[in-house]
Amino acid sequence: MASNLPLPIPPRTPTPPADDDQHASTINSGMPISRDSLSPLKASFPKDIMDSESRDHLSPTKSSFSLGTSPVQNGSGDTPAGPFNFDTAVMAKSPVIKSNIGQRRGHKYKHSSISHQIFLEPPPRAPLALPNSLPIPTLKECRSSMSKDQKTRFWWSLCHMSIAAYTLWTAHGSLAMTSLSHLILFDSLGALLCVAVDVLSNFEVWKRSSIRHPFGLERAEVLAGFAMAVLLLFMGLDLISHNLQHFLEKSGHEPHRPHEHDRVSLGSVDVTAVLAISSTLVSAIGLKNHARIGKAMRFGYIQSLPSVLSNPSHFLTLSCSALLLLLPLVSIRIYDWLDKLLSGTIAFSMCFLGMRLVKTLGSMLLMSYSGPGVADVIKDIEADPSVIGIDDARFWQVHYGLCMANLKLRVGGTEDNLLRLREKITSLVRNRLGGGYGGGGQKWEVSLQFTIERT
């Protein structure tokens, strides 16, 4: 009963319209395809389609294969209707019209309607107040930017360095003079550093902040001073080693190399000591040598002395030079004893000064503050009646001329009291730690954050 059911007609793919009517008449011009011609059970199905002769005609490997003929023919000699239509179709010669049907393009939300604007453009931002980086001057640019005064200071720093070399060359007669030559070498390097800082300040990158250098290049001066402090410390240790070696030679031990020390004749003036005093005064007054280091160190014992002597480096060099001027006035026995005592004193003083400089400048490089007075400032802030508590207090020094204080406080009171408290804390920090306005101390920038608690 199932064999009597009609076979379903498969859906036919619609043929697109041709470009030319004349060609359209040649497409699908064959006889209509019958459903019974596909069934081998019907009488219209060709019986001899699979015999050997038909297979030879259908095989492309046989010589009887033909593309234009079909082995299956009906009685009238025409090609019967088959399941396929292989009639020749002529392509249209008209140009192909490009169509956008079936092509998908990427959707651009920016140019779509308002309802499709899912991704909105960010609002325009103002340019950064700080530049990303500033050009660092080269050696040629530094030389071309030097003024006449800066060139004079540069040549004087070289003269100061030559005096240090001359002092070392003539120091064979005294251990104290050898120690003095090391001090003059340290002063000459400081004078050369002052000239380099003065020349670099001609450029914008030295003081202006940028993203790459938030505090400019002024911290490079701190790094150079730290290297000089390490050099001073090692020179002091070298002098101590030299003095110990000389003491062992006098005790009867065999020296590794001869050490002959000739003294200056009695009643004569030591020219080397005079040169040391004059070069130190010129560098201290004219170049402001070691001025920033002296402000950062703050030796309380010599603060009351004049401006030149209040600097520990100048005080050590000038006092040593003055004592060397007095040594030729004493006897030979006292001279030898005082020379060794003065040399040892200078060596230990250089080590002490070098250690203080290393500690001070090292903390500055680590962005901390090592000066005194911080505990007193915190105590005075806590004593104010408007302050409930101090959550955080940080004091740190960037370079020789800039320090920063950041405080976070819990306060209470009216707006007028908070304004008064802000001005009081700022003035307290600048007067206690910075030496006050006009005192020549470091510049302090104070930032305060108040957490208001209602009681």
- Tens of pLDDT, residues 179-204: 899 999 999 998 899 899 889 988 98
Contact 289, 194 (CB under 8 A): yes
Residues 6+ apart with CB under 8 A from 142: 199, 200, 202
Indicate if 340 and 417 belong to the same structural domain: no
The residue range of the domain holding 410 is: 374-452
The Cα 258–Cα 427 span in angstroms is 62
Pairwise pLDDT comparison (324 vs 309), residue with the higher score: 324
- Tens of pLDDT, residues 248-282: 776 655 544 444 445 455 555 678 888 888 998 88
Single out the residue in 90, 117, 135 at which a domain terminates. 90
Distances (CA, A) of 173 to 11, 149, 238, 258: 122, 38, 18, 13
- Tens of pLDDT, residues 363-382: 889 888 877 788 889 999 98
Pairwise pLDDT comparison (103 vs 35), residue with the higher score: 35
- 217 within some domain: yes
Q: Which residues are registered as beta bridge partners of 397?
A: 403
Q: Which residues are registered as beta bridge partners of 451?
A: 410
Residue-level pLDDT at 235: 92
Report the CATH number at residue 329.
Answer: 1.20.1510
The CA-based diameter of the chain, rounded to the nearest angstrom, is 156
Token pair of 34, please? 């019958």
Q: Which residues are registered as beta bridge partners of 406?
A: 394, 447
* H helix intervals, 287-404: 291-297, 312-326, 332-365, 374-382
Alpha carbons within 13 angstroms on the beta-carbon side of residue 290 total 30
Q: What single letter denotes the amino acid at residue 68? A: G
- 143 within some domain: no
Indicate if 209 and 323 belong to the same structural domain: yes
- 122 within some domain: no
Q: Give helix 332-365 / helix 175-200 axis angle, nearest 10°.
A: 30
- 130 within some domain: no
pTM of full prediction above 0.85: no
Indicate if 226 and 358 belong to the same structural domain: yes
Indicate if 44 and 182 belong to the same structural domain: no
Confidence of residue 415 (pLDDT cuts 50, 70, 90): confident
Q: Which residues are registered as beta bridge partners of 182?
A: none
Indicate if 336 and 404 belong to the same structural domain: no
Indicate if 193 and 291 belong to the same structural domain: yes
Q: Which residues are registered as beta bridge partners of 389?
A: 410
Residue-level pLDDT at 159: 93
- 137 within some domain: no
Indicate if 198 and 180 belong to the same structural domain: yes
Confidence of residue 12 (pLDDT cuts 50, 70, 90): low
- Tens of pLDDT, residues 68-84: 444 444 444 455 555 55
Question: SS3 string of 255-319?
Answer: CCCCCCCCCCCCCCCCHHHHHHHHHHHHHHHHCCCCHHHHHHHCCHHHCCCCCCCCCHHHHHHHH
Distances (CA, A) of 359 to 169, 290, 293, 434: 32, 16, 12, 19
| Percent share of the chain, pLDDT over 70 | 64
Indicate if 13 and 71 belong to the same structural domain: yes
Q: Give helix 415-432 / helix 374-382 axis angle, nearest 10°.
A: 160
Domain count, the chain: 3
* pLDDT exceeds cutoff 50 at 115: no
Pairwise pLDDT comparison (36 vs 27), residue with the higher score: 36
* pLDDT exceeds cutoff 50 at 62: yes
The Cα 302–Cα 319 span in angstroms is 13
Report the CATH number at residue 447.
Answer: 3.30.70.1350
- 135 within some domain: no
Distances (CA, A) of 413 to 253, 340, 387, 391, 454: 78, 67, 9, 18, 8
